[in-house]
Amino acid sequence: MAKTESKQLTRDKLLDEGVALIMAQGYHGTGLQDILHSVGVPKGSFYNYFASKEDFGAETIRHYIEPFILQLDCHLRRPELGGAEALQAYFWELIEESARRQFKGGCLLGNLMGEIGDTSDACRESLRQAVHRYRDKLREGIARAQDEGAYRRDRTAEELADFLVDAWQGALLRMKVEQSIRPLEECFRNLLEGYFRA
């Protein structure tokens, strides 16, 4: 049992480091040796945890999205907040975190969509699943806001969630170019405080 837990812990450390390095250097700029060295895992041991670098990339995507879904879910579960307020609180946290990171990184999903989204079947499928899981969690909040009368109902919650994901990804990319959170703030204002409102 302890050996299994230790292996899972090492695997999680490799994924954490993979997220950090791929965010900083890109998928193609990140070598397996860099990841293994930073975690203190011998070079030959990588394949005890992952079948290939492509498999590692796909797992890194799944590992990356989970905290965002949990963070959003925590806001949606706050009993004192309606759906619209929960979404606003969540996105405002993301904006503040981007400012703290000094506009570095953006979103691993968006970065990888551009870098390997059309070259790796395994990573493309992992990206698709991650985006859909995230979209579906946003849809929950949007549907609740619609039921509460805060958001427009002439578009489905899924349509609005898709629009929000797409707009937010674009704003994150522009944030990196502008070196400013202004694109994120404008996306927040224009959608959550504007277009979505009933």
Following DSSP, what letter does each residue of 97-165 receive, concatenated?
HHHHTTT-S--HHHHHHHHHTTT-HHHHHHHHHHHHHHHHHHHHHHHHHHHTTSB-SSS-HHHHHHHHH
- Number of structural domains the chain divides into: 2
pTM of whole model > 0.85? yes
**Location of structure tokens 């400013």:** 180
**Do 76 and 2 share a domain, yes or no?**
no
Q: C-alpha distances in angstroms, 104 versus 14, 16, 174?
A: 21, 17, 11
**Do 78 and 174 share a domain, yes or no?**
yes
And the tokens for 191? Answer: 């959608």
Instruction: Supply the CATH number for residue 2's domain.
Output: 1.10.10
In the prediction, which pLDDT does 2 show? 62
In the prediction, which pLDDT does 144 show? 98
**Do 26 and 38 share a domain, yes or no?**
yes
**Do 72 and 24 share a domain, yes or no?**
no
The whole-angstrom separation of Cα 162 and Cα 22 is: 25
The identity of residue 137, as a single letter, is K
Structural domain harbouring 34: 1-49
And the tokens for 70? Answer: 């949990």
**Could you read off the pLDDT tens digit of each residue along the chain, which spans 198 residues?**
466 777 888 999 999 999 999 999 999 999 888 899 889 888 788 888 999 999 999 999 999 999 999 999 999 999 999 999 999 999 999 999 999 988 887 899 998 998 888 888 999 999 999 999 999 999 999 999 999 999 999 999 999 999 999 999 999 999 999 999 999 999 999 999 999 999
Instruction: Supply the CATH number for residue 78's domain.
Output: 1.10.357.10
Q: Which residues of 95-104 are buried (b: 16+ CB within 10 A; e: fewer)?
A: beebeeeebe
In the prediction, which pLDDT does 3 show? 64
